[in-house]
Amino acid sequence: MTYKAPIKDMLFNLQHLADLEQVAQLPGFEDAGLETAQAVLEECAKLNEDVIAPLNWEGDKYPSSFHDGKVTTTPGFKQAFKQYAEGGWQGLQHPTDFGGQGLPKTIGAACGEILNSANLSFALCPLLTDGAIEALLTAGTDEQKALYLPKMISGQWTGTMNLTEPQAGSDLSLVRTRAEPLPDGTYKIFGTKIYITYGEHDMAENIVHLVLARVSGAPEGVKGISLFIVPKFMVQADGSIGARNDVHCVSIEHKMGIKASPTAVLQYGDHGGAIGYLVGQENRGLEYMFIMMNAARYAVGVQGIAVAERAYQKAVQYARDRVQSRPVDGSLNTAAPIIHHPDVKRMLMTMRALTEGCRAMASIAASAFDAAHNHPDAETRQQNQAFYEFMVPLVKGYSTEMSLEVTSLGVQVHGGMGFIEETGAAQYYRDAKILTIYEGTTAIQANDLVGRKTARDGGQGAKALSQQIETTEADLAVSGSAHALAMLKRLKAAREAFISSVDFIAGQAKSDPNAIYAGSVNYLMLAGNLMAGWQMARALLVAERELAAGNDTAFMQAKITTARFYADHILTRVPGLRDAIVEGAPGVTEMALESF
């Protein structure tokens, strides 16, 4: 099954929801309007559809392998990565000062979706490199930036993030990797890191590991963690590669999905100590690593949208081809393709509406990121930053949970054939599962949303968002069409359920934290559903206007129908989630531990 990038839907979002023309008014983005976006997306689609997508199934059958300390990636990956790097794709949204193309995240995120749809395992290498680049741009010295960034941005070198250890998963206060200062200002690093994505591979000349470690004598807990650059090969002052550093891959994991992506166990300092270079100041490592994690969290949300899109396309193709039973309405008197059956349509529409809703939500979040970093007005930057920060756990948490539902439905559409590996439907389901786990599980995203993004300011930021949604409700009322009024009814009910949940969280945050955290994932799912639904409501209004003007009638009609489906079948889940959040804590918290 071939993959086709959904460029038309992406451009619709960029133009009408993310307001790319406004982004193109920002300093530094003057050349990044719609015309540029279309050209970039079409070029991106070409490489991914022709070169990278065909390797996806190959990677599942012939995963990366480990032998004598070396990792060999899936046949074809190395050549594809070379083409990816030579095309300048790694540097798409990184600064021109270091050889990047300096495009806004609004365009970069759409390209990220295309890459991840084509091949989730392959895309993880550039994704982690992007995060490492972000961290160095923020906290690296001028010398470090000059030494590492041009080669990372060109794709000659790749990057990793090394947080997790056998005893320190989500709780980074337990990190034990140690760093011993040397007289020349460098450090020797000793320890074991696990789950290191592309921690060892054969696609690039060098790998720049960013490693969390404790300097001897540092405070206990998260306050005593520092961040270090530990390159696989030492880098000379002129940028050339020198001797091998004392960091070695000792094994790679055997995984349920993303099998072509080598997940390495790295050992630092077995032969006297790996040389590391401090990034920023001692004991501020976690702060810098959060920059990587926030970039990666958004990117993982995009991975969820990407794998959902791929599963949807495959399911539609199968539903068109698979002949089974006569249509229930008697419109054909012979067996017909299953796409005629109402329940198959329901499954396909669920897949489509969830994917499009999350894509739109991610698109407006990227636009806010661009304004937060590039707008000349400080207050506008601050407002956009607050909006983006609220959206990150939703893009990550809701989009990845959504991808599990969509890829599971993809298997279901295939029926018994979906359970057979050869059809390929199961690969998307298996690949999607990790997305709800790595870069912070859904519960961790939900805790962030409850604690940092809702309770901390007494729900004020959440209520400001609610006011923006009310504006869209007013526009739906003005439209007055049957679809707009149906959307209005559902959106209003969902927004009111959101406000009720926000009030509960803000009111109970100090007095009964167990009650609010018992409902935290439900709150994340409610908020994500609402924000995606809000974007579908905005899309519906745009599509109605475009349809009235006679523009691209088939696409606009489909957009209206998809938005209507989202309203009636997906936004309707929200009031039930509110009830679970506000009234459901006793059922979670009161069971005696010994009764489990």
- Can you identify the CATH homologous superfamily of domain 7-153? Acyl-CoA dehydrogenase/oxidase, N-terminal domain (1.10.540.10)
The candidate with the shortest Cα–Cα distance to 16, out of 485, 386, 356, is: 356
Q: How confident is the model at residue 1 (pLDDT cuts 50, 70, 90)?
A: low
The per-residue pLDDT for range 545-584, each reduced to its tens digit, is 999 999 999 999 999 999 999 999 999 999 999 999 999 9
The per-residue pLDDT for range 121-153, each reduced to its tens digit, is 999 999 999 999 999 999 999 999 999 999 999
Mean pLDDT over the full length of the chain: 97
Quote the percentage of the chain above a pLDDT of 70: 100
- What is the domain class of 158-283 according to CATH? mainly beta
The per-residue pLDDT for range 301-325, each reduced to its tens digit, is 999 999 999 999 999 999 999 999 9
- Domain boundaries along the sequence of the chain: 7-153, 158-283, 443-589
Q: At what angle do helices 553-565 and 482-508 cross, to 10 degrees?
A: 40
The per-residue pLDDT for range 435-468, each reduced to its tens digit, is 999 999 999 999 999 999 999 999 999 999 999 9
SS3 state of residue 263? strand
How would you classify the pairing of strands 263-268 and 65-67?
unpaired
Q: Alpha-carbon distance 57 to 82, whole Å? A: 20
Q: How many CA atoms lie within 13 A of 585 on its CB side?
A: 16
Active site residues: 439
> For residue 293, what are its two tokens?
């994690």
User: Could you tell me the CA-to-CA distances from 30 to 27, 94, 96, 267 in Å, in that order?
Assistant: 7, 15, 14, 46
Sequence length of the chain is: 596
User: Could you tell me the CA-to-CA distances from 14 to 35, 475, 487 in Å, in that order?
Assistant: 11, 20, 22
Quote the percentage of the chain above a pLDDT of 90: 98
The per-residue pLDDT for range 494-512, each reduced to its tens digit, is 999 999 999 999 999 999 9
Q: Alpha-carbon distance 511 to 497, whole Å? A: 22
Could you tell me if 549 and 576 are in contact, meaning their C-beta atoms sit under 8 angstroms apart? Answer: no
pLDDT at 289: 87
The per-residue pLDDT for range 151-188, each reduced to its tens digit, is 999 999 999 999 999 999 989 999 999 999 999 999 99
Could you tell me if 57 and 238 are in contact, meaning their C-beta atoms sit under 8 angstroms apart? Answer: no
> Is residue 292 scored above 90 in pLDDT?
no
The per-residue pLDDT for range 328-342, each reduced to its tens digit, is 999 999 999 999 999
Phi and psi, residue 125, nearest 5°? -65, -55
Partners of 241 in the beta sheet? 235
The per-residue pLDDT for range 233-274, each reduced to its tens digit, is 999 999 999 999 999 999 999 999 999 999 999 999 999 999
The per-residue pLDDT for range 510-523, each reduced to its tens digit, is 999 999 999 999 99
